[in-house]
Structure 1
Amino acid sequence: MAVLTSLLDTSSETYLSNRKVQLDAIDALNEQLELTIAGGGERYMARHRDRGKLPLRERLELLLDPDSPFLELSPLAAWGTEFTVGASELTGIGVVSGVECVIIGHDPTVRGGAMNPYSLKKTLRALEIARVNRLPVINLVESGGADLPTQADLFVPAGRIFHELTELSSMAIPTVALVFGNSTAGGAYVPGMCDYAVLVDRGAKVFLGGPPLVKMATGEDSDDESLGGADMHSRVSGLSDYFAADEHDAIRIGRDILSRINWRKLGPAPVENPAPPLHDPDEILGILPTESKIPFDPREILARVVDGSEFDEYKPLYGTSLVTGWARIHGYPVGVLANHRGVLFSEEAKKATEFILLANQTDTPLIFLQNTTGYMVGAEYEQGGIIKDGAKMINAVTNSTVPHLTINMASSFGAGNYGMSGRAYDPRLMFAWPSAKMAVMGAAQLAGVMSIVGRASAESQGKEFDTDADAKRTAAIEAQINDESHAFFITARLYDDGIIDPRDTRTVLGMSLSAVHSTTVAGRRGFGVFRM
């Protein structure tokens, strides 16, 4: 396999300028991640500890295998909204007793761990990742239930949580609930519907209605322990499978459960002892241009991501705005589709279609590295069949059954987002780099289109066109789209699974590939490779 060479000049002004912009973007990301980790803040964290309870991230650390990695998902959910960044919840993929699991944990320092519309989206996405990748689920439960002022956005869709838990069980994908505190109302069904329920003595409170509600509904006087304590559920109701003396004991039991599920991955194992890239991943920061409209060669990125910097390029002289080829990442074979100069022409669409079909023939996972402004427009290209060629590519992406992993490196605009396996096309996992943008088109282009449409509308009605008003409107629209295409805005709404430091791309892809190999890796059968 050919080894990628690098033409990068790390002493050039361009490299140093690019690097500074990316470091600033990473600093902004880390600032928000610190807010997520802080949860409800020092006051509520101290109150939580004073109650003899462990913070969520300490529970997680004790649960995970020592020194094992954790791939956190959607850490900036709810950014820029009225809710705390992180959406009062932690989700991710980690290793427990040697088993890769999806872990979902409530943060009780944020409004008692109450679920808001963004934490609901975060939970459902985590459960979806568990289902499609065949990953056991561990719930770290301590939540007061729904955030009642937003119940109109929660009640109906929240029922999907219980649907997902029971479907996972029907697929023989184990689900575990470690209950440390409140698990009330609808939340009581989480331990109720998991395969294994572990309740902490004098901590867990699992009931459909607490003492005040019971008093109002029936006139009965009751207390937390007799109504929903761990001892009662372990001795009387039978809801609890394991009675834990304290939080450490519950985590020990949870690890024991995972050690006994006889779990085996269904996908092929990676090659052992993969060679690291020949070029320093830290240099990726100097490759990315300061402006998303400036193209860059994705081979420079691949040289710092794939094993041994080895890349077998497919059709290198055809459809050159899209780089395609075969490589390995942490020992896993992959096919790569990476945008080069942004625009997808008919040649790129046909090349991608063939390549995706070949990957399915050989059961090879696909990595999509997005930096696209979309499919080419104009009379020449419309007449040349850009719509039908783009449709072939989108068809191939849609019907491909090998795992897709997608990273938005710089920009993901228009239907190019679809053709490059954006969120709507169900990549197993999708991440973005801190300076990446995503929208129907670039802010300046969108604002300009609106201006042209407005001018044409005025002319068709015989009205005078207000140039000053148009300039103000254009500036306002451009500012709006710039805000709405920002990586933080996109990830806050869970249109990806998180923003990552570009230097961590190889690690994140390796962990993701390991996770997707928990289930069978198989391409679509029933049609061959269509020569385009």
Structure 2
Amino acid sequence: MEAGKSWRAAEGTVLRSRLDTGAERYRANRAAQLAVLAELEAELDKARDGGGARYRERHHRRGRLLARERIELLVDRDSPFLELSALAGWGSEFAVGASVVTGIGVVAGVEVVVIAHDPTVRGGAMNPFSLRRTLRALEVARRNRLPVVNLVESGGADLPSQSELFVQAGKIFHDLTELSSMGIPTVALVFGNSTAGGAYVPGMCDYAVLVDRQAKVFLGGPPLVKMATGEESDDEDLGGAAMHARVSGLADHFAVDELDAIRIGRRIVSELNWRKRGPGPTLPADEPLHDPDELLGIAPADFRMPFDPREVLARVVDGSRFGEYKPEYGTSLVTGWASVHGFPVGVLANANGILFGEEAKKGAEFIQLANQVDTPLIFLQNTTGFMVGAAYEQGGIIKDGAKMINAVANSTVPHLTINMAASFGAGNYGMSGRAYDPRFMFAWANARLAVMGAAQLAGVLSIVGRAAAAESGRPFDQAADDARREAIERQIAAESHAFFISGKLYDDGVLDPRDTRTVLGLALSAAHSAPIEGRRGYGVFRM
């Protein structure tokens, strides 16, 4: 990337930190961040616990490995595993993490998406959140051109939830076959039940490995067959690994045990002759000059308090180098060029939270520039939205905001989005929120996402109620309004919480700010498995 080379050689591109780690505000931010990270770790422990100690011990007594143990043996030793949607189902009646583990790992040197059923959670049965988590993992595989390895042991659908599952669950089969048609390999390692609709997972994958005396792959089990046809049969005759390897031909490989299945799975991936289509890292991947631990004191305890995103970049990008674009124009949006783990990137980061017309035009132009040179974009969100008011409406804020949103929507380079503090209103759209299909989207543990802040939203409803009362000639009930405002504030505060948002799968996970650089590096590497191509067909224009 020529632009990257030019700024790297220039003087004055190393960010200098002005952070005062002894300041009261820094200490308060750090304490608040550590407190919410302790809460996050407790929730992640619930996900790692699966169905609880009783069911994990029972699974082990049966001679079976747990889902995460299977993943650990599958991926290359000492390689990272980027778990996705770890808080799926948070705040619902279902287990945190749902009944499946998904993420990106390296198998035989190849980055792959892993989807592993957790049989300790209601037998691995699929609930609405495990369905969403699975579909999101398949979307990640498709958009980033990553092979998929399914670690299968599931009793099928969670039947009491079938009304929320049946229609959309068919998309799993659709996506597996679509991946195959795109030349993206899919592998199924079947460790246990894969029944009814689940039987189509190995049936629709390119490669299927079944474990002897454990895999059970059939459309209908012995009781259903007995009821439907009167035929007497057993699990092995209907769907055992030996039958499928020697009679039906469904099994491509017969594994004698789970370790053998994992060995065969790794061999299959090693024989794919898989090549990335994006460029590899092209710039020095030296560590930032400033301590990433200090990000804990930069992330605000109160999202209404602004902070300089350059302090974040100084602790995330390679060598703390940043070639800023238009630094004197539209100053509440910071834009410029950097690299993360050697991958060139363009960065858009909110400074004081509000997007004015100048910021919108600057952002749109910068997005176009990045597309011209095929450079991925990182969006660091901390926005309360586009500016409102008579002067701004008359000045064309709607037109300017539309330009930025248009640029985001039509950009074809990978977008990686992190909500650092607040992501409200159309600012979320202009900064590549979930509706704009970023390749990956994460949030810091203290972040909030909503139409607007809780107090602002409650206040708007209060003003509307007061105006309605005046128009109809009714007396305004202040006490009822106060109670209503308090209830709405509580509701919006809860529903904008990072755990709630991630539990709904509106992002790919909640981060410790100190892990930002690592996660961005893993995500960029995954994205470069696919071609990196910007939007063509228009030149950069002034707006």
Distance 1:509 1:173 in 2: 23
Which residues in structure 2 correspond to 1:87-126 (within 5 Å)? 87-126=98-137
8 Å CA contact retained: 2:284, 2:318: no
What CA deviation, in whole Å up to 9, does each residue of 1:231-281 have, x standing for no partner?
A: 000000000000000000000000000000000000011036511100000
Gaps of 5+ in 2: 1-7
What CA deviation, in whole Å up to 9, does each residue of 1:355-376 have, x standing for no partner?
A: 0000000000000000000000
Gaps of 5+ in 1: none
Aligned to 2:200: 189
Distance 1:413 1:274 in 2: 33
Secondary structure of 1:199's counterpart equals: strand
Q: CA deviation at 1:111?
A: 0.1
Q: CA deviation at 1:11?
A: 1.6
Note if 1:424 corresponds to 2:416: no
User: Of the candidates 215, 228, 238, which is equivalent to residue 204 of structure 1?
Assistant: 215
Distance 1:119 1:287 in 2: 34
Note if 1:464 corresponds to 2:444: no
Which residues in structure 2 correspond to 1:283-294 (within 5 Å)? 283-294=294-305
Note if 1:257 corresponds to 2:268: yes
Q: CA deviation at 1:195?
A: 0.1
Aligned to 1:486: 497
Identity level (%) = 74
Secondary structure of 2:510's counterpart equals: coil
Aligned to 2:463: 452
Distance 2:470 2:312 in 1: 48
Distance 2:446 2:22 in 1: 22
Distance 1:273 1:238 in 2: 50
Distance 1:105 1:274 in 2: 32
Note if 1:402 corresponds to 2:413: yes
Aligned to 2:5: none
Counterpart AA for 1:235: R
Aligned to 2:90: 79
Distance 1:63 1:228 in 2: 25
8 Å CA contact retained: 2:283, 2:344: no
- Which region of structure 1 is more displaced relative to structure 2, 367-376 or 266-275? 266-275
Which residues in structure 2 correspond to 1:369-384 (within 5 Å)? 369-384=380-395
Aligned to 1:154: 165
Aligned to 2:229: 218
Secondary structure of 1:31's counterpart equals: helix
Relative distance call for 1:408 and 1:172 in structure 2 (3 A) is same
Distance 1:335 1:360 in 2: 10
Distance 1:262 1:352 in 2: 40
8 Å CA contact retained: 2:116, 2:151: yes
Aligned to 1:433: 444
Secondary structure of 1:183's counterpart equals: strand
8 Å CA contact retained: 2:15, 2:322: yes
Using the size of structure 1 for normalisation, the TM-score is 1.00
Distance 2:533 2:218 in 1: 43
Q: CA deviation at 1:290?
A: 1.6
Q: CA deviation at 1:161?
A: 0.3
Distance 1:399 1:318 in 2: 24
Note if 1:278 corresponds to 2:289: yes
Q: CA deviation at 1:519?
A: 0.5
Note if 1:332 corresponds to 2:348: no
Counterpart AA for 1:387: I
Secondary structure of 1:389's counterpart equals: helix
Q: How much is the aligned-residue C-alpha RMSD, in angstroms?
A: 0.6
User: Of the candidates 29, 40, 43, which is equivalent to residue 29 of structure 1?
Assistant: 40
Aligned to 1:233: 244
Counterpart AA for 2:360: A
Distance 1:434 1:305 in 2: 17
Counterpart AA for 1:468: A
8 Å CA contact retained: 2:283, 2:343: no
Aligned to 1:499: 510
Q: CA deviation at 1:215?
A: 0.9
What CA deviation, in whole Å up to 9, does each residue of 1:319-340 have, x standing for no partner?
A: 0000000000000000000000
Q: CA deviation at 1:406?
A: 0.2
Q: CA deviation at 1:443?
A: 0.2
Using the size of structure 2 for normalisation, the TM-score is 0.98
Which residues in structure 2 correspond to 1:30-49 (within 5 Å)? 30-49=41-60
Aligned to 2:529: 518
Secondary structure of 1:415's counterpart equals: helix
8 Å CA contact retained: 2:283, 2:339: no
Aligned to 1:393: 404
Distance 1:44 1:147 in 2: 17
User: Of the candidates 487, 492, 503, which is equivalent to residue 476 of structure 1?
Assistant: 487
What CA deviation, in whole Å up to 9, does each residue of 1:419-458 have, x standing for no partner?
A: 0000000000000000000000000000000000011111
8 Å CA contact retained: 2:210, 2:251: yes
Counterpart AA for 2:399: K
Distance 2:365 2:283 in 1: 30
User: Of the candidates 76, 83, 94, which is equivalent to residue 65 of structure 1?
Assistant: 76
Distance 2:364 2:470 in 1: 43
Aligned to 2:366: 355
8 Å CA contact retained: 2:347, 2:379: yes
Distance 1:5 1:265 in 2: 36
Counterpart AA for 1:122: R
What CA deviation, in whole Å up to 9, does each residue of 1:21-77 have, x standing for no partner?
A: 000111100000000000001100011011110011110000000000000000000
Note if 1:509 corresponds to 2:520: yes
Aligned to 1:139: 150
Q: CA deviation at 1:288?
A: 1.6
Aligned to 1:245: 256
What CA deviation, in whole Å up to 9, does each residue of 1:98-156 have, x standing for no partner?
A: 00000000000000000000100000000000001000000000000000001011000
Counterpart AA for 2:441: M
